[in-house]
Amino acid sequence: MSRTVSHLELRDVTDETLRRLERGERFTITRDGIPTGELTSVHPRRFVNADTAIQALVDDTLIDPDRFHQDIDRGVDQTPPPRP
């Protein structure tokens, strides 16, 4: 849930608002009581080392190619349309 804050109040409490954004809070900014925008935190990208990424791929469940093709055939008509 976001907290509503006026643009004037935001100007006065910028540091506190930034600290709260870093903790994951959201803010709806208003002007004359009308919502004009939202502030949300930007979560930094999380670095995953190569070994962890490779292990995640190795541990993944293998796809049965026959079942995969059957599923595709059931859902997609691959019959080419007749030529004019």
Is residue 21 within 8 Å of 41, Cβ to Cβ? yes
Q: Mean pLDDT over residues 10-39, rounded?
A: 89
DSSP lists the bridge partners of residue 26 as 2
CATH number of 3's domain:
3.40.1620
pLDDT value of position 18: 87
pLDDT band, residue 35 (cuts 50/70/90): very high
Half-sphere exposure of 58 (CA within 13 A, CB side): 6
Is residue 39 one of the residues assigned to a domain?
A: yes
Look at the pTM and tell me if it is higher than 0.75: no
- % of the chain with per-residue pLDDT over 70: 93
**Percent of the chain topping pLDDT 90:** 14
Domain extent for 21: 1-60
* Interval 56-75 mean pLDDT: 82
Q: How many CB atoms lie within 10 A of CB 17?
A: 19
Q: How far apart are the C-alpha atoms of 75 and 81, rounded to whole Å?
A: 17
Count of domains for the chain: 1
Res 45 pLDDT > 70: no
Query: Is position 6 within any domain?
Result: yes
